[in-house]
């Protein structure tokens, strides 16, 4: 009896995981409004009705998608010990750039995509995207401050302003790369941020 | 007979204009996928069926929306005679920033929005957005070159790279402003572009 209850709970957790992961992938590939519940359950290989056993709404699954996406961004690279702050910053953005450069310039950043498509229309999704950007900007600010303290970065830069600017510029570079279907906007980001702004 | 034919043609042109303008406004406010033909015809005050008398598809009306949007961006400010190039650049971005700052941080840039939402899925819309970005980047490049020739901007900057970077950074700043519901990302854009990148 107990075993079958545990098996059912595990099956339920595994089905939830499949739906959550499929929702994340579908939202990232198609956007929020173009993704139907049907697309999610089909990609997860589960019956359509089962979506609502695990999520109260498409919006709720989008909030979880944002959290899954954030977990994939390797923010730990920004604080990894052993290399100078600005090298870590560059390595982090080189890691982020791989997704767009290696996949034919599609998808971009899920937070920025939801920002462009959904932020005006869902306060919950906007708040979650804001938390994502705020957390990222704060990590960047800390890294820039560390670089200033190490004498690797000019003190005249305001670390908070520059962190927010770099984050925004990255989001824009991803959109321009998708529009241009080329690496040029990402290359312009690296060249200008690292050779002009942070020089 | 001829008069009534002319009146019909004028009525037809005026209805087309109402639909095209409503489509532009709806796409800008709601995004591409969240805008239904019904939203457009309702906003235009015309019967739903009349949409297809003037446009073959929602996509076709989106292409015209991009063109209407581009016409509203006052690119002429970048080449207006009488003031130094970098002053014109700042005035142009101050003009662009008004739409987002004065309207509660919504809507953003239609080209960037379509880039984030539709570029991966419609080659026609992606191409039109690319033409929009390319034309804008070329105008920015010319202005930066002019500033370099006037001795107002360091020669070490690559004008083409910097133009593309500024355009991308602006697109990202608009998205971050909508997510943050604040002017901070736009302020970070002005401060970093004009006081660091172009200094």
pLDDT band at B114 (very low <50, low <70, confident <90, very high): very high
Of A113, A158, A173, the CB nearest to B116: A113
Structure tokens at A186: 């990402």
The CATH number assigned to the domain holding A10 equals: 1.10.10.60
Residue range B146-168: mean pLDDT, rounded: 98
Percent of chain A whose pLDDT exceeds 70? 99
Assign A75 to helix, strand or coil. coil
| A100 and A136 together in one domain | yes
Question: Looking at the domain assignment, is residue B66 inside a domain?
Answer: no
| A9 and A57 together in one domain | yes
Residue range A132-157: mean pLDDT, rounded: 98
Indicate which of A178, A192, A194 best probes the interface with B, i.e. most B CBs within 10 Å of its own CB: A192
Cβ of residue B172 closer than 8 Å to a chain A Cβ: yes
Average pLDDT, chain B: 96
| B51 and B81 together in one domain | no
| B46 and B88 together in one domain | no
Q: What angle do CA B39, B51, B106 make, to 5 degrees?
A: 35
| B114 and B40 together in one domain | no
| Of A41, A64, A87, the domain-final residue | A64
Query: pLDDT tens-digit profile of A71-104?
Result: 999 999 999 989 999 999 999 999 999 999 999 9
| B96 and B140 together in one domain | yes
| A45 and A123 together in one domain | no
Q: Which residues of B touch A119 (CB under 8 A)?
A: 175, 178-179
Is residue B1 over pLDDT 70?
A: no
Is residue B128 over pLDDT 70?
A: yes
Percent of chain B whose pLDDT exceeds 90? 92
A116 and B112 in contact (C-beta within 8 Å)? yes
| A107 and A192 together in one domain | yes
| B27 and B80 together in one domain | no
| A124 and A55 together in one domain | no
| A50 and A96 together in one domain | no
Is residue A185 over pLDDT 80?
A: yes
Domain count, chain A: 2
> Residue B9 CB: number of other CB atoms within 10 A?
10
Structure tokens at A175: 């959109």
Interface ipTM: 0.96
| Of A64, A91, A118, the domain-final residue | A64
Would you tell me which residues 121-150 of chain B have a C-beta closer than 8 angstroms to some C-beta of chain A? 121, 126, 129-130, 133
Q: CA B27, CA B114: separation in Å to the nearest integer?
A: 9
Query: pLDDT tens-digit profile of A26-46?
Result: 999 999 999 999 999 999 999
| A83 and A174 together in one domain | yes
Cβ of residue B42 closer than 8 Å to a chain A Cβ: no
Residue range A118-147: mean pLDDT, rounded: 98
Q: CA A169, CA A161: separation in Å to the nearest integer?
A: 12
Question: Looking at the domain assignment, is residue B139 inside a domain?
Answer: yes
| Of B58, B83, B98, the domain-final residue | B58
The CATH number assigned to the domain holding B150 equals: 1.10.357.10
What pLDDT shows up at residue A89? Answer: 98
pLDDT band at A1 (very low <50, low <70, confident <90, very high): low
Whole domain around residue A191: which residue ranges? 73-197
């Amino acid at each position: 009896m107990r075993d079958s209850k545990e098996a059912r709970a595990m099956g339920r957790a595994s089905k939830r995981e499949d739906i959550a992961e499929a929702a994340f992938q579908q939202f990232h590939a198609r956007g929020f409004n173009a993704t139907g519940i049907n697309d999610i359950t089909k990609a997860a290989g589960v019956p359509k009705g089962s979506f609502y056993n695990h999520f109260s709404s498409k919006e709720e699954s989008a909030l979880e998608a944002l959290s899954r996406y954030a977990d994939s961004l390797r923010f730990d690279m920004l604080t990894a010990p052993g290399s100078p702050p600005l090298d870590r910053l560059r390595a982090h953005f080189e890691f982020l750039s791989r997704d767009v450069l290696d996949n034919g310039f599609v998808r971009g950043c899920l937070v920025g995509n939801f920002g462009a498509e959904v932020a005006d229309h869902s306060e919950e999704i906007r708040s979650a995207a804001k938390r994502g950007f705020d957390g990222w900007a704060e990590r960047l600010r800390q890294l820039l401050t560390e670089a200033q303290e190490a004498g690797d970065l000019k003190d005249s830069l305001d670390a908070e302003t520059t962190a927010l600017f770099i984050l925004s510029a990255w989001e824009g570079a991803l959109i321009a790369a998708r529009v241009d279907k080329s690496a040029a906007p990402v290359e312009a980001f690296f060249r200008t941020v690292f050779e002009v702004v942070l020089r």
